[in-house]
Amino acid sequence: MRAYSDTVAPVRNWAGNITFSAATIAYPETIEQLQAIVQAAQKVRVLGFGHSFNRIADTPDTLVSLRNLQRRIEIDSDARTVTIDGGASYADIAPALHAAGFALANVASLPNITIAGAVVTATHGSGDSNRNLAAAVRGLRLVTASGDIVSLSRGDADFAGAVVSLGALGVIAEMTLDLVPTFDIRQTVYLNLPVATVIDNIHTLTARAYSVSHFTRWQGDSVDQVWVKALAEDGEPAADILGALPATAASHPIPGMDGSTCTGQFGVAGPWHERLFHFSIGNAASAGAELQSELFVARADAPAAIAALHAVQDQFSPALFVSEIRSVAADDLWLSSACRQDTIGFHFTWKPDWDTTIAAVGVAERALAPFAPRPHWAKLFTLAPDVVRSRYPRMPEFKALADRMDPEGKFRNDFVTDLLFA
């Protein structure tokens, strides 16, 4: 294994819509090598598993991949924490946590993303009481611009600003995450709920189980699928929800795709890491050739926001594979999409045609404009930077923190500079 690669074949993101412009990709095998690489570089960004859809991970200089770091999964049963390395993925740690009697409170739709990449972009799952995945972070060890390591723990003055960082403060070398006792989930997919019923009942629908996702192609007057992930201890799944009946074949969020790549359904109880992801460990996620965007609005606005999208659905649904509506609980992380507000997220998986997608993203943004949406940091959006900045009450403090921790802007790329600092 190499610590460095001087010549770089074009490296692309998972979706294939971004070719990274890095002159060098470095593969440190130790934290000490990582420190030396960061210290020597002019500009640095980390490449996780490349599942972001915009240029957030890009840099013209040094891209660092932590995939060759020794995986670290150190469970502290008394403190109920796990300490992991900055290159670990959810797939790497979830089975080991379950085997030790523990769980993460929530996860995203897929296991094959790095935890650090998820944390710095405010990646989320679903559930009225489930916060963004970054909210599980109890401590961070960052390699800063000088190559030195800074440790931050929950309760420290800068901590709430340093977790969802867009990678602009340093390289996460290690993280400590909160754990909960392991638990079982029953997942049941219900089909064809009228949009009018969803609008009238969205708050009771999202509250009816531990994690609920609504999948719709925004065609006609019904929501295609409602994925209900209930705590197994709460008993057998309901025979119907508001008249919608359970699917009898394994469902995939994108109708017509193979549901056997997804986590266990039909209300059969199974461990959290075999139910909370939509796509199971070891299987391909989603469509693959696709683009994604997502907007978050205050949960109280959910009925009006769904109605607003429904009213213009014919303008964007031809570009869609599928869309997902999820709830996320508020947190206090400065750049979290759920900072200080319980939210509803409107996710869109688009067919991989750039121009059509960007036009459709704009339609959704304009429809939700009255609700002041925040965009997902890792997905596509056309909202102007000053508009995005205005949606984050703690943005000035974040910029001051970034100026203090990285005065030369070593960890800023064009995406971060244009969005946050221009």
Give the residues lining the site for ligand FAD (CB under 6 A).
14, 45-52, 56-57, 66, 86, 108-110, 113-114, 116-118, 120-121, 123-124, 166-167, 171-172, 285-286, 376, 378
Q: Which is nearer to ligand FAD, 190 or 415 (CB)?
A: 415
d(CA 334, CA 296): 15
Token pair, residue 394, equals: 């703690």
Dist. CA 131–CA 133, nearest whole Å = 6
Min. distance of Cβ 161 from ligand FAD in angstroms? 14
Minimum CB separation of residue 168 from ligand FAD in Å reads 8
| Least distance from ligand FAD to the Cβ atom of residue 171, Å | 4
Q: Which residue has the tokens 């200080």?
A: 340
Q: CB under 8 Å to 274, separation ≥6 — which residues?
A: 263, 264, 280, 281
Write the CA distances from 358 to 305, 367, 368, 379, 382, integer angstroms: 20, 14, 15, 12, 8
CB of 129 to ligand FAD, least distance (A): 17
**In the complex, least distance from residue 264 CB atom to ligand FAD, rounded to whole angstroms:** 18
Task: Tell me which H or E stretch contains 207.
Answer: helix 195-207
Closer CB to ligand FAD, residue 166 or residue 232? 166
Exposed e or buried b per residue across 319-350, where buried means at least 16 C-beta atoms within 10 angstroms of its C-beta: bbbbbbbbbbbbbebbbbbbbebbbbbbbbbb
Q: Which is nearer to ligand FAD, 83 or 201 (CB)?
A: 83
Q: In the complex with ligand FAD, which residue's Cβ is closer, 117 or 237?
A: 117
Task: State which amino acid sits at residue 118.
Answer: A
First to last CA, the chain: 39
Burial label for 101, CB within 10 Å (0-12, 13-18, 19+), is: exposed
Least distance in angstroms from the C-beta of 380 to ligand FAD: 11
Closest contact distance (angstroms) between CB of 282 and ligand FAD is: 14
Give the nearer residue to ligand FAD in terms of CB position, either 217 or 278: 278
Q: Burial level of 54, CB count in 10 A (0-12/13-18/19+)?
A: buried
Q: Which two tokens stand for residue 405?
A: 């921790």
- Compute the least distance from the CB of residue 240 to ligand FAD, in Å: 26
Q: Which is nearer to ligand FAD, 240 or 404 (CB)?
A: 404
* Cβ distance to ligand FAD smaller for residue 132 or 239: 132
Q: Is residue 114 within 8 Å of 89, Cβ to Cβ? A: yes
How many C-alpha atoms does 281 have within 13 Å on its Cβ side?
15
Q: Which is nearer to ligand FAD, 32 or 234 (CB)?
A: 32
Residue appearing with tokens 């065609």 = 219
